[in-house]
Amino acid sequence: MIEHERIAIIGAGHVGSTAAYALMLRALFREIVLVDSDTALAQAEAADLSDANALARPARIWAGDYADAGLARIAVITAGAATRGSEDRLSVASRSAAIVTSCVDQLLGAGFAGIILVAANPVDLMTLVALRRSGFPPARVIGSGTLLDSSRFKQALAGRLDVASSAIDAMVLGEHGDSEVAAFSVARIGAVALDQFPAAGAALDHAQIAHDVRTAAYRIIQGKGYTSFGVATAIVRICEVIQRGERAVLPVSTLLTGEYGIRDLCLSLPCVLGAGGVEHVLSPPLSEQEVIALQASAATLRNALDAL
């Protein structure tokens, strides 16, 4: 039986605890259970969150085990190997794969039948690991993907064009990592193509914007040692869309089945998300150069997968 008002956070580190805090403030679930191999950490984070919850909307927040997680509607896997300094996400793939595999096995052992949201890096490979290990339909195993990168992309464009980021429809596609593709050709501001928007055109250095978006996490990690607020907010937005059955379109990592000639890999394309997970995978009309870059991104992921 699925408890539709329960969400499980697997991994109570920086990302997991921040996501739990944001979920509490958003009041999306009445029950938030934290599960971590470090029981003391999970208990401390749950206690701290419960203190904060006294000043927010009522919710039950506790440190539990996989039996508790087994009843959740969504299980968010944040547990994985952390990158350090300039270490790229793919470099920790083997260590993360072992952790994610263990998490999935224990969820299945507890009878979990909900939606798995993977936010452990490298997220595209870990989404595929979770998908294969669980045997779930692809719709129910989702990676946080490039939703955060897309937010950074919108912010970068908004700052240069002097418009609100909410007015911009723009996405980063492919790997959540160094081979990601900023899709300038399909970016829109108020339904106007980017190159037709006043103050755009020559004023926008596409290569510099893409570089800034791609390397944003490294700059944050250099300063504070990890990222948390951005990815946690992306996690919460995905959970919100699922919980409310919004059928919103978000760039998340999902199994591709031939889009742009790519199959049997998880990477980010715009997806219609509903109560049951991924309902449709969309293929925007990218430029020829962007398609080539997306295929190169897929090749990067496949090489990393083969090395696992």
pLDDT tens, position by position, 18-37: 999 999 999 999 999 999 99
User: Which residue is catalytic, options 176, 206, 211, 280?
Assistant: 176
| Tokens (6 digits) for 53 | 């919850």
- Residue 252: CB atoms within 10 Å: 31
Tokens of 235: 């996690």
How high is the pLDDT of residue 90?
73
Task: Tell me the two tokens of residue 211.
Answer: 């570089």
Are the beta carbons of 133 and 96 closer than 8 angstroms?
A: no
Q: Mark whether 176 is an active-site residue.
A: yes
Q: For the chain, what is the mean pLDDT?
A: 94
Question: Domains of the chain by range and CATH?
Answer: 3-143 (3.40.50.720), 147-306 (3.90.110.10)
User: Cα(145)–Cα(234) distance, rounded to whole angstroms?
Assistant: 9
Interval 34-87: pLDDT, tens: 999 999 999 999 999 999 998 988 899 999 999 999 999 999 999 987 766 556
Q: By the 8 A CB rule, do 129 and 97 touch?
A: yes
Q: Is the pLDDT of residue 2 over 70?
A: yes
CA proximity to 278, closest of 233, 232, 247, 257? 247
Lowest mean pLDDT among 125-129, 132-136, 158-162, 279-283: 158-162
Query: Among 9-18, 154-163, 245-254, which is the least confidently predicted range?
Result: 154-163
Is the pLDDT score of 107 beyond 60?
Answer: yes
